[in-house]
Every structure is written in C-alpha cells, then in structure tokens.
Amino acid sequence: MISTILILTPVLVPVVKQAGIDSIYFGVLFIINNSIGLITPPVGTVLNVVAGVTKTSRSDLMKGVMPFLIAELIILLLMVLFPSFVTVPMCWFL
C-alpha cells in the first residue's frame, strides 16, 4: 500500500484539488480503496502472502475474508453516497 500511496498521491492530488474535492475526504476514500485492493484477487498481495505462509488455498482464504470485504465495500459505498460521514467528524477535530 505504501508504494501505491507514494506513486499515485502526487499524481491524483492536483486533479482532486482542481475538481474541488476535499483532500481529507479523498485521502480517506483512497486508503479504504487501497485496503480493499490488498485483499482482493488477482493482485491481492496480502491474500497471496497469507496463502503462502499458511499453506492454504486462496479460495479458502477468500471464504474467510468475504465478510470483511463486504463490510469494507458497504462502508465505502456509504462514504461515497454520504460524504458527511467523513467530513462532519473531521470538523470536530479541527
């Protein structure tokens, strides 16, 4: 995830600012999208590492990961549909 952040952030931040999107809101969505990408095939590096270390198949691991993946997708959907879930608590701390 660090490499994705280091490569894509300098490219995407000017686009986000030009589009008028709040940078903290974008950052939260960016990190959640990256975490979803780490556990989904075919490139899911965390899934591949865990499969290699535990000597289990990726399909068995996906069965265990699926509830967490669904929860992350629902949270991401809610944050996209209702940006105030991210921006209102942010205002409490600033």
Each domain of the chain, given as residue ranges in start order, spans 2-83
pLDDT beyond 90 at 18: yes
pTM of the entire structure? 0.81
pLDDT digits (tens, 9 = 90+) for 21-32: 988 899 999 999
Work out the pLDDT band at 93, boundaries 50, 70, 90.
Answer: confident
What pLDDT sits at residue 38? Answer: 85
CA-based radius of gyration for the chain:
16
Work out the pLDDT band at 2, boundaries 50, 70, 90.
Answer: confident
38 touches 1 (CB < 8 A): yes
- Say how far apart CA 19 and CA 4 lie, in whole Å: 21
What pLDDT sits at residue 19? Answer: 94
Taking residue 44's Cβ as centre, other Cβ atoms within 10 Å add up to 20
